[in-house]
Structure 1
Amino acid sequence: MSGSAARIAGGQAKAPGGHNPWIVALVVALATFMEVLDTTIANVALRYISGALAVGPDESAWVVTSYLVANAITLIASSFLAKRYGRKAFFMWSVALFTLSSVLCGFAWSLESLLFFRVLQGLGGGGMAPLAQSILADSFPPEKRGQAFALYGVAIVVAPVIGPTLGGWLSDNASWHWCFLINGPVGVIALALMYWLIEDSEAAKRERRALREKGIRFDLVGFLLVATFLGSLEVILDEGQRKDWFGTSTLMNVFGVLTVVSFLAMMPWLLTAKNPVIDLRLLKRRQFSACFVVMLFTGAVLISTTQFIPQITQEYYGYTATLSGLVLGPGGIMTVVSMLVVGRVSSFIQPKWLIAAGGTIVALGLYDLTRLYGDTTFGFFAWSRIYIGIGLPMIFLSVTSASYEGLPKDKTDQASALINVARNVGGSMGVSLAQNVLAYRSQFHQSRLVDTLDPSSPAYQQTLSQATRYFQQHGFAGPDAQNQAVAWIGQQLATQVAYWAYIDVFWVLAVLTAGLVPLALILKTVKLGGGAPAAH
């Protein structure tokens, strides 16, 4: 029994291959859950990773950004490759690469090896989400697809909620390696079930034959240009601050040239090619380009806050990785609730109003984070994340439906790929931007505080005297007590610098998010109730 229009046997609709479509949906959701989980599971483990591999926090952030960029690169190619070589085959190859590279990440012996395996992991994971939607659409009759996509949506939403808490617990109680090794057995089980359960529909087979007969080939030139541009740009954003940008660094100059040259070659190629790997002509449409920018900024806020809240709570508030993950938990739960509510109200409220409202709520949540200080509590961070969790689904769901407005049906694949690329690239750029703001503002506040710190001032001498007495009372004698006091004052200064720098980071993210509001208001009014087409 085959075909996307499932036949009825005993009252039960069958998926291609004659299997129960709900079992197929569970297998697809399992694989997708595993991939989405890896966008957040390592965030709370970065402190352990940087310690084990002897690198700084800014370098360990590559673990997040390298995955997102590689993921985005595969996204642009996944639609064509799946059509050309078969959805089942490409999906299984993607899961196999993702699983193998996950295990290799767990055995990484240096930052360089971890980043290499993490890139492979991102390349494997990039094709899984869009292919999962195509397989679900083929496995269910039209009247049942809504329920199937609801199950898929639960996996997409719940995975980022569980990721930080699970990653923190594994890091505290086992090892950071298990944040990646856990994918091994899950991936093997998923592969075995896919081989048994998933079959390409007759429509997909006909499409594959048609592509072969027409001799339509993959746009390798366009793909390499896009990959070079995104990869080189990310190296610049991640390494620029540490390498002093383009002043003395040969590495920065080389990647700067690569970025400019690949961009200048990429634009005319993609705009004029007969079958481009990604259709940039869609960005000429005001509606779609506005949605693209909205998703770019939203990805930046989502990923950067998921990394920086655990980072500050572990470094300056003494939280364990598990507790840092739990800080994000209430916000994740609220995201699930908000998605359910937004899904209902979106049938009678225009996307532009939901995006504007969501941007306002997220900006206020980020503004709330600018009020942090030395005695900030768990509840403060949790509530700030809850506000963000309420607003983000209002943006994500609405921008997806708004982006398809006015597009021909044969462009929905390309539109879906571009919107997902915007989310991932925005996420990696957001992390890099936040790291650079943190570094620059730390230097700024450090110099300002040191300038105002006068060792001969009465206030300084009084503080030094009190601190010296404290250390004398705790077993330090003479010069040792005073040295400890001076070190303590320096530590307090560094901590205050860090608080102010993180506050500046949250200010920048709040301003960026607030900028989404006027951008949302220029979106067109769309027809409500139809829903966005499924990405194939």
Structure 2
Amino acid sequence: MSDDALKPVNPLLISTAVSLAAFMEVLDTTIANVALSHISGSLGASSEESTWVLTSYLVANGIILPLSGWLSALMGRKNFFIFCILGFTLTSFLCGIATSLPMLIVFRLLQGLTGGGLQPSQQAIIKDSFPAEKLGMAFAITGITTVLAPILGPTLGGVITDNFSWRWIFFMNVPVGLLAAFLVNNLVVDPPSARKQKVDSIDYIGLSLIALGLGALQIVLDKGQQEDWFDSSFIVIFAIIAAVGLILAVFWVLQQKNPVVELKLFSIPSFSLPCLMIFFVGFALYSSAMLLPMLVQTSFGYDATLSGLVLSPGGIATLVMMPIVGKLVNKIQAKYLISFGMLISAVGMWATGLVTPQTGYGTFVLVRALQTVGIPFLFIPASTLAFSKIPPESSSNASAIVSLMRNLGGSIGIALVTNKLIHSQQIEQAHLVQHLTTADPGYQSAIANYTQSIMNLGVPAVQASKMAIAKIYQELIQQANILAYRDAYNFVAIILVVLAIIALFMPSNSLQKKSAPMASH
């Protein structure tokens, strides 16, 4: 082991090893979405019951994320990371062999618990592997896994479920996990600040309150729309539990000498404001990745594979921009890059709202690329600024909070945007129906044209008239659906424009000037 300390490993090799594990876990948060119908059919469950496959994972993941910094100190960061990799690998295999829905839900819960520490540990390890002047490039690497995986997840999930079996979305984690564990064990060395620390006592009350509050909140966000939000006593009860649990957790944790979550890091402006921006990175990334596949499947007849392929080119655009933005961070103030990224993403959201029933695949690919090309300008500068004044001993705790903010942003974004979409569908449909009257000349003309076209096929006049009305109503539903997606995208765009203005008031970061090459250490 002493040889490890004498032979520093190239940070890029370390980054590749730890990113492999984190990529696998982030991918799993979205890849199962497109497989739900296959899972429910295979296990004899309803579509509503099968959504617990997603909810159980998100609840467990959300509970562990903020605690991962504390667990890293308890076990040592490298030990904790390898434990998470192996645990995630084992539970992935168990998910693949599940023979009933309850069994799969339990294994997904365990998968979320073991995988929850992978993202923050990856970010902390990479952050500590690079010198301060190269933090931008370090977060460009973490961004590849954080941003690219949710984009590729639906595509990969669609290809696997359409051509093989839903079980392979879990089985494929096994070889990747074993390889990642081997590489991490041989390449990663904990710095003194990340080694196992003596813990005098465990704050069971703080742990319980955080687990209760975040677990209940995730259930509310994931099941709210399905249960009709606060018209459901189920949602009301869990919302109260979430609010009480989280409020008590904040008060309790702030009074502890060795808290399970370092909330006092929020007192650092260069950390708290970037965390807010990272929250909205998750909001924009996950909500837009959810909206576009739904739009092309419901209104344009795309299957799971093709709808996933609409997202993939956007991932390539993101991949290309990551290293470029990583270098720009040292030359341009982070707040200007973040503001620019917000505006670019807002334009992408607005442009997507301009689609029509005649829009083709190529246009969807272009607007998706425009949505995602701004994400690196948000994620990398915000992460660099957030960690700029964090001491090494707090890296794991800061990474845990950043990961939690991003994931919470994603969950809240999906919940709010879905609610906006459904509400807009009702409004747009009611608005369009007002034109379906005998007094509307456009409606009368359309009825006459459709009726005549159907009668030309040999259909009697009365039946042809009924078929024409049905055809027009079908077109109305499609139009209302597309207009509702326009409203949802405009909603996200407005939020991003407001944030672009707020970003300009963030603290400035110190830009690194060219200096003499430093000796390796």
> Per the shorter chain, which TM-score range?
0.7 to 0.9
Does residue 268 in structure 1 map to residue 251 in structure 2? yes
Say whether 1:282 aligns with 2:282: no
- Cα distance in 2 between the residues matched to 1:111 and 1:453: 45
Which of the residues 364, 370, 385 maps onto 2:368? 385
CA distance in 2, matches of 1:137, 1:390: 23
- Matched to 2:28, the amino acid is D
Distance in 2 between residues matched to 1:290 and 1:136, nearest whole Å: 22
- Per the alignment, residue 473 of structure 2 pairs with 490
CA 1:44/1:327 → structure 2, altered by over 3 Å: closer, same or farther?
Answer: farther
Who is 2:517 aligned against? Answer: none
Instruction: State the superposition RMSD in angstroms.
Output: 3.6
Question: Following superposition of structure 1 onto structure 2, how do residues 329-478 of structure 1 map, counting pairs within 5 Å?
Answer: 329-454=312-437, 459-474=442-457
CA change 1:448–1:253 in 2 (3 A) is: same
Letter in 2 for 1:493: L
% of aligned pairs identical?
Answer: 40
State how far apart, in whole Å, the 2-side matches of 1:515 and 1:22 are.
Answer: 36
Q: Does 1:86 align with 2:70?
A: no
State the distance in 2 between where 1:90 and 1:407 align: 21
Contact 1:104 1:117 (C-alpha < 8 Å) held by counterparts: yes
Shift of 1:268: 0.8
Choose 515-524 or 464-473, whichever is displaced more: 464-473
Partner of 2:214: 230
Between the aligned partners of 1:303 and 1:450, the Cα distance in structure 2 is 32
Q: 2:283 aligns with which of 300, 325, 349?
A: 300
Q: Partner letter of residue 219 of structure 1?
A: D
Q: For residue 55 of structure 1, what is the aligned residue in structure 2?
A: 47
Deviation of 1:458 after TM superposition, in Å, equals 5.4
2:192 match: 203
The answer to whether the 8 A contact 1:91-1:127 is kept is yes
2:483 matched residue in structure 1: 500
- Unaligned regions of 5+ residues in structure 2, if any? 515-521
- Tell whether the 8 Å contact from 1:362 to 1:388 is kept in structure 2 after alignment: yes
Name whichever of 518-527 and 119-128 sits farther off: 119-128
> How far apart are 1:282 and its partner, in Å?
2.5
- Structure-2 separation of matches of 1:482 and 1:113: 52
The one-letter code sitting in structure 1 at the alignment partner of 2:259 is P
Which of these residues, 201, 204, 212, is aligned with residue 220 of structure 1? 204
Preserved CA contact (<8 Å) 1:335 1:392:
yes
TM-score by length of 1: 0.83
| Distance in structure 1 (CA, Å) of the matches to 2:191 and 2:314 | 42
Matched residue SS, 1:515? helix
2:497 partner amino acid: A
C-alpha contact (below 8 Å) 1:44/1:307 kept by paired residues:
no
In 1, the alpha carbon distance for the partners of 2:459 and 2:434 equals 30
TM-score by length of 2: 0.85
Q: Where do 5+ consecutive residues of structure 1 fail to align?
A: 8-12, 532-536
1:254 equivalent to 2:237? Answer yes
Asked if the contact 2:124–2:395 (Cα under 8 Å) also holds between the matched residues in 1, the reply is no
State how far apart, in whole Å, the 2-side matches of 1:143 and 1:513 are: 29
Deviations 1:171-209 (A, max 9, x none): 322244433332233334444x2596367658379x42x
**Change over 3 Å in CA distance of 1:449–1:202 after alignment to 2:** closer
Q: Distance in 2 between matches of 1:71 and 1:356?
A: 30
C-alpha contact (below 8 Å) 1:64/1:428 kept by paired residues: no
Give yes or no for contact 2:193–2:393 (8 Å, CA) kept in 1. no
With over 3 angstroms needed to count, the CA separation of the structure-2 counterparts of 1:114 and 1:520, relative to structure 1, is farther
Find the counterpart in structure 2 of residue 534 from structure 1: none
Change (3 A) 1:462 1:103: farther
* Cα distance in 1 for residues equivalent to 2:141 and 2:87: 25
Query: Is 1:28 the counterpart of 2:18 in the alignment?
Result: yes
Structure-2 residue corresponding to 1:164: 154
Secondary structure of the corresponding residue to residue 39 of structure 1: helix
Q: Please tell me whether residue 100 in structure 1 is matched to residue 84 in structure 2.
A: no
Q: 1:67 to 1:384 in 2, by over 3 A?
A: farther
* Residue 252 of structure 1: how far off its partner (Å): 2.0
In the TM superposition, residue 421 of structure 1 has moved relative to its aligned partner by 0.9
Residue 357 of structure 2: SS of its match in structure 1? coil
| Secondary structure of the corresponding residue to residue 526 of structure 1 | coil
| d(CA) in 2 for partners of 1:180, 1:105 | 6
Within the candidate set 58, 70, 81, 2:60 is matched to 70
Residues 117-132 of structure 1 mapped to structure 2, 5 A cutoff: 117-132=107-122
2:151 and 2:315 in contact (8 A); partners too:
yes
The answer to whether the aligner puts 1:2 opposite 2:2 as a matched pair is yes
1:243 partnered with 2:227 = yes
Q: 1:268 to 1:135 in 2, by over 3 A?
A: closer
**1:285 offset after TM fit, Å?**
3.6
Question: How far does the alpha carbon of each residue in 1:448-485 deviate from its partner, in whole angstroms, 9 at most, with x for none?
Answer: 33344226755445433433444455575566544433
User: 1:234 and 1:276 mapped to 2: Cα distance?
Assistant: 22
Shift of 1:495: 1.0
SS at match of 1:216: coil
Corresponding position of 2:518: none
2:308 to 289, 314, 325: 325
